[in-house]
Amino acid sequence: MGATGYAGSEVLRLAASHPDLDIVLATGSSSVGKRIGEHVPALAGAYPDLVAVESSAILSVDLDVVFLALPHGESQAFVPQLADRGTAVVDLGADFRLRSADEYAQWYGHEHRATHLLSQSVYGLVERHRDEIKGASLIAVPGCYPTASALALGPFIDNGVIEREQIVVNALSGVSGAGRATSERLHFSRLAGNAEAYGLLTHRHTPEMQQELGATLLFTPHLLPVSRGMLVSAYGRLRAPAFTTEEALALLRATYAKDPCVVVTDEAPTLKDPLGSNLCFVSARVDKRTGWLLAMSSLDNLGKGAAGQSIQAWNVATGREETLGLPLAGVTP
């Protein structure tokens, strides 16, 4: 669902190389009746005859799993019916990520209409919830910013290396993270050669990060004039001043030793390292002078930050090889 949006079309791109995913139908409210390849020419070779249909068609076909890539608030209209039919759901949207209906209403501006399913959804960040995801039938795929931030900060919070208060997260993102719908901020004449902070103090990924990390943080996202990619620099106050950069890197390596989609690097990751892949690059530094730890990460906001992560979680949920159908090499240059 939402196959003609950026995240939805990326799910289709990755599914084309997945041996166990056969696309039965694709919905796209703005492109009903058009071939997917007309709307997204990059997919014409993989899906020459796939036509976008109305959203309601999802409830008239026998399906094993539905991937939803819809704006926030829209998944709630379909997930209860899909659950009643016994159809597995992988939701790339925000509707089932937060555990609290009140918190959802506070940050998203409207009441949640399927609160009975909030406790049944599993947060789809595989590296931190692998066991919970196994066998799950409702997976809430994390947002791109929370994914990059949790993978960078999580090991240090979980192990008591940094305080759970006064954490600062600064993030840079490509414009595809804003979705296909245009706005004044996304006009070429404003975006090109520019950089802009947005969602100041109120970005909706903030409660998701705090829920996942069990911490309080200040989050500031920034928009860059690139199509895709994400780079996070996060700061936490050290609890043990003697902790070193070498120990920080060793902790990251130990934490992610068995995680094929996380790469720990000595050097600071760059925006381009993971592009086109399902990888997240992480690194860290300790500043003894100020007593702060700097945690860094980069990922493709449409890959590990959305579509790739959704397929990775579905692979785990269904007992498949975690990386099945997923690219583990980025595109360079």
Q: What's residue 273's pLDDT?
A: 95
Q: Tell me which residue of 59, 58, 5, 44 sits closest to 28, measured CA to CA.
A: 5
Average pLDDT over every residue of 117-136: 98
Distance CA 206, CA 193 (A): 27
Average pLDDT over every residue of 211-229: 96
Distance CA 45, CA 63 (A): 24
Q: What's residue 171's pLDDT?
A: 98
Summarize pLDDT for 248-272 with one digit per residue, the tens: 999 999 999 999 999 999 999 999 9
Q: What's residue 288's pLDDT?
A: 95
The two three-digit tokens of residue 182, written as one number: 């245009």
The two three-digit tokens of residue 43, written as one number: 């997919």
Reported in sequence order, the residue ranges of the chain that DSSP labels E, i.e. its strands, are: 26-27, 52-53, 65-68, 88-91, 122-123, 138-140, 167-173, 196-197, 217-223, 230-237, 262-264, 280-287, 292-299
Distance CA 144, CA 93 (A): 11
The two three-digit tokens of residue 275, written as one number: 């592009």
Summarize pLDDT for 140-179 with one digit per residue, the tens: 999 999 999 999 999 999 999 999 999 999 999 999 887 7
Reported in sequence order, the residue ranges of 118-257 that DSSP labels E, i.e. its strands, are: 122-123, 138-140, 167-173, 196-197, 217-223, 230-237
Summarize pLDDT for 278-310 with one digit per residue, the tens: 999 999 999 999 999 999 999 999 999 999 999
Is residue 181 predicted with pLDDT exceeding 80? no
Q: What's residue 47's pLDDT?
A: 96
Distance CA 214, CA 211 (A): 5
Task: Give all domains of the chain, ordered by start, each with its CATH number.
Answer: 6-120 (3.40.50.720), 144-300 (3.30.360.10)
Catalytic positions, please? 144
Q: What's residue 330's pLDDT?
A: 94
Grade residue 203 by pLDDT with cuts at 50, 70 and 90. very high
Summarize pLDDT for 99-122 with one digit per residue, the tens: 999 999 999 999 999 999 999 999
Max CA pair span of the chain? 63
Average pLDDT over every residue of 199-220: 97
Distance CA 135, CA 319 (A): 8
